Amino acid sequence: MQFYSSIAKGYDELYSEEQQIKHRIIKENLKIKNSDFLLDVGCGTGLLDFNCNVIGLDPSLDLLMQNNPLGHIENKIVARAENMPFKDNSFDKVISVTSMHNFDSIGKGIQEIKRVGKNEFAFSILKKTKNFDLIEEKIKNNFNIRKIIDGKKDWIFICSKIFK
């Protein structure tokens, strides 16, 4: 987390091009309506530009304060994925882009994402992260994976909720 805060000012210059490829894939694969409420978990500087009500959550105030002109996030919240200040089923869509490998507890973060989301989810996971197998296993155990897409540096999982 401290690493991301320390590179906050230069983050977009370093990563915006590669992150926008992943955002575009997610946009094409989630059926987003203008009226949808979408939560972006680990939103960083807020590069996202989706046509709906977007709420961004990230523990790094430095990243959230960058106010990226390319992005369009109405509300930003300083918090961690593992403990989100939202009621159950608050969001039509929940996404997390290249962020899960940073969670202190991947299991708790994924449980929280499942709790606050209604049914559609997209997770972009860095291929080279050492936690990849663990993250994939937790996604498989908690969601119904509809599609896995090659996002160059990441695998992108398009999921729905498993109702037990």
CA distances from 157 to 13, 27, 146 (A): 26, 13, 8
Q: CB of 161 within 8 A of CB of 93?
A: no
86 binding ligand SAM? (CB under 6 A):
no
Task: List the one residue from 19, 50, 139, 156 that touches ligand SAM (CB under 6 A).
Answer: 19
Residue closest to ligand SAM when measured from CB atoms: 44
Smaller CB separation from ligand SAM, 75 or 164? 75
Check if the beta carbon of residue 97 is closer than 8 Å to that of residue 124.
Answer: yes
What are phi and psi for residue 39, nearest 5 degrees? -105, 130
Comparing CB distances to ligand SAM, the nearer of 144 and 152 is 152
Kindly tell me which of 83 and 89 has the beta carbon lying closer to ligand SAM.
83
User: Which C-beta is closer to ligand SAM: that of 67 or that of 144?
Assistant: 67
Residue 141 contacts residue 51 (beta carbons within 8 Å): no
For residue 7 the two structure tokens come to 């590179």
Q: State which of positions 35-74 bind ligand SAM (CB under 6 A).
A: 41-44, 47, 58-60, 63
Q: Rounded to whole angstroms, how far apart are CA atoms 82 and 13? A: 28
How many whole angstroms from its chain centre is CA 91? Answer: 13
Among residues 25, 32, 81, 113, which is the contact residue for ligand SAM, using CB under 6 A? 81
Binding-site string for ligand SAM from residue 107 to residue 146, where x marks contact by CB under 6 A and - marks none: ----------------------------------------
> Per the structure block, which two tokens stand in for 10?
């230069």
Cross-strand partners of 97: 124
Closest CB to ligand SAM among 13 and 144? 13
Instruction: List residues near ligand SAM by CB under 6 A.
Output: 1, 4, 15, 19, 41-44, 47, 58-60, 63, 80-82, 97-99, 102-104
